Amino acid sequence: MTSLARISTGSPDPQDIHADVWHAHALAGSPQVVQPTGDALLDAQLPGGGWPVGALVELLQPAGVHSEWRLLLPALARCGQGPVVLVGAPYLPFVPALAALGLRASRLLAVGAVQDGRLWATEQLLRCAEVDAVLAWLPQARSDQLRRLQMAAAEHHKLLFVMRPASLQADASPAALRLVLQPQPPAQSPGLDALAVHIVKRRGPPLAQPLQLQARAARLAVLLAAEGAYALDRTAAHA
């Protein structure tokens, strides 16, 4: 007869604790691969030091705010050589600006679909071996639908970023990371914008104050200004 293992009532050795278990007072390490964000201040506050590969990252923004490229571009430019796919983007980025900052135009693909179609397309893209990252705009997705995407990202080891309204911050979400983005025009840098990043969910203690990421470089400001002019020109052409 096999005896039961003796149960110890003493404190466990931290070295014996599984990597998936973390102390609530400390920032968790990451048992999975991460992609550095390109910002050392942000990396220092994310488990493992970057965006998790194989997990859902949710970016929440106020209506009319689109700071996802400001935050994600450095990581997307370095995450591999395969496609970066946009699903349901409210507008297409100014590709020459992204290419000038390291994200080749040949890697960008865009999928336009109605809300239910976006969910299906996102899940299928996560299953595609060639795809490196998926950015999906899913303002109406339910928690159970997001969970399916989280599972697909984990199974196929993909970068997945989902953009949703900041008004949903109080809703439950299966995302491994949830961030609220808010541009902050600095008084000392007219025409350039800093970015306040509130980390509202992570494997670690709550972050009491938002991170204030530095104002974008002048080169990026010029390129994004060109993007704005390009968008206006396209709007006028279709008026």
Please give the Cα distance from 175 to 160 (Å, whole number).
10
- Closest listed residue to residue 115, CA positions, set 83, 151, 153, 162: 162
Taking residue 74's Cβ as centre, other Cβ atoms within 10 Å add up to: 18
Taking residue 36's Cβ as centre, other Cβ atoms within 10 Å add up to: 17
Residue count (the chain): 239
Report domain extents, the chain. 31-180
The structure tokens listed for 191 are: 């025409």
pLDDT at 159 over 70: yes
The structure tokens listed for 10 are: 């003493």
CB distance 171 to 122 below 8 Å:
no
- Going by DSSP bridges, is the β-strand pair 133-137/159-165 parallel, antiparallel, or unpaired? parallel
CB distance 150 to 175 below 8 Å:
yes
Strands (E), the chain: 34-35, 51-52, 55-61, 84-87, 108-111, 133-137, 159-165, 177-184, 194-201, 211-213
CB distance 62 to 182 below 8 Å:
yes
**Per-residue model confidence as pLDDT tens digits over 189-231:** 555 678 899 999 998 887 888 999 886 655 555 555 554 444 4
Please give the Cα distance from 134 to 109 (Å, whole number).
10
**Per-residue model confidence as pLDDT tens digits over 83-141:** 999 999 998 888 888 888 899 999 999 998 777 799 999 999 999 999 999 999 999 99
Query: What's the whole-number mean pLDDT along residues 9-16?
Result: 46
Q: How many helices (H) and strands (E) does the chain have?
A: 6, 10
CB distance 162 to 132 below 8 Å:
no
Question: Can you give the pTM of this predicted structure?
Answer: 0.79
The structure tokens listed for 132 are: 């490196």
**Per-residue model confidence as pLDDT tens digits over 45-67:** 999 999 999 999 999 999 988 89
Please give the Cα distance from 239 to 236 (Å, whole number).
5
Q: Which is the CATH superfamily of the domain at 31-180?
A: P-loop containing nucleotide triphosphate hydrolases (3.40.50.300)
If you search the block for the tokens 């808010």, which residue do you land on?
182
The structure tokens listed for 212 are: 């204030």
DSSP 160-173: EEEEEEGGGTTS--
Please give the Cα distance from 31 to 237 (Å, whole number).
50
